[in-house]
Structure 1
Amino acid sequence: MAAQRYGSLIRVREDKLEEYKRLHAAAWPGVLRMIKECHIQNYSIYYKDGFLFSYFEYTGTDFDADSAKMAADPETQRWWEVCKPCQQPLETRAEGEWWASMEEVFHLD
């Protein structure tokens, strides 16, 4: 089965951009391990003009279950609490989202 690709978007608070970069330059090992345990690979975050763009590939078979596993992890919860003050969600995000999901409109392998 091919990997499922995900893109999402959020604003970064300009006064917190450097802090956000520092956090991710030294991401916590337990958080990185949980990402991999939840079948996520090729995970990248890009910055441009006040926005963060996230891209990753999901290789598992139950994205909802793996997402719930990650959300239940205490270390991941602490990481998110450290990162949240740096972020400003989009008003147009779907209910229950922090990062707004994006529609893929083109892909070439």
Structure 2
Amino acid sequence: MKRFGQIIKVKPDKLEDYKYHHANPWPQIDAMIKACNIQNYSIYYKDGYLFSYYEYVGNDYEADMEKMAQDPKTQEWWALVKPFQTPLETRKDGEWWADMEEVYHLD
């Protein structure tokens, strides 16, 4: 199992829309997340930033992320919520949500 933390900004005028859609996710989206070996997934908000945490329990992260990216319903969901977000200028090439470095963990 590998833990992931990611961060992105949310547009202030879109925060309530973002919260609404994530309080009412489409069932296909939750199913695809699980089908791609992601569990214990949470998104938090603070001062204009969204922080996500999830655990990957599969064997091929890149393949599972590609599977998710190719899913038509996921593409539709991303088209809905992406305009609510502003990626960090310091993110790596190819990232939308910026990956964070884990500096401490306690089980």
Q: By the TM > 0.5 criterion, same fold?
A: yes
Q: CA RMSD in A?
A: 0.3
Partner of 1:30: 28
Query: What residue ranges of structure 2 are gaps of 5+ in the alignment?
Result: none
Structure 1 segments of 4 or more deviating over 6 A? none
Partner of 1:91: 89
| Count of equivalent residues | 107
Partner of 1:70: 68
SS in 2 for 1:64: helix
Among the aligned pairs, what percent are the same residue?
64
- 1:22-45 per-residue CA deviation (whole Å, 9 max, x = no partner) reads 000100100100000000000000
The TM-score normalised by the length of structure 2 is 0.99
The TM-score normalised by the length of structure 1 is 0.98
Deviation of residue 108 (structure 1)? 0.4
Measure the CA separation in 2 of the matches of 1:80 and 1:87: 10
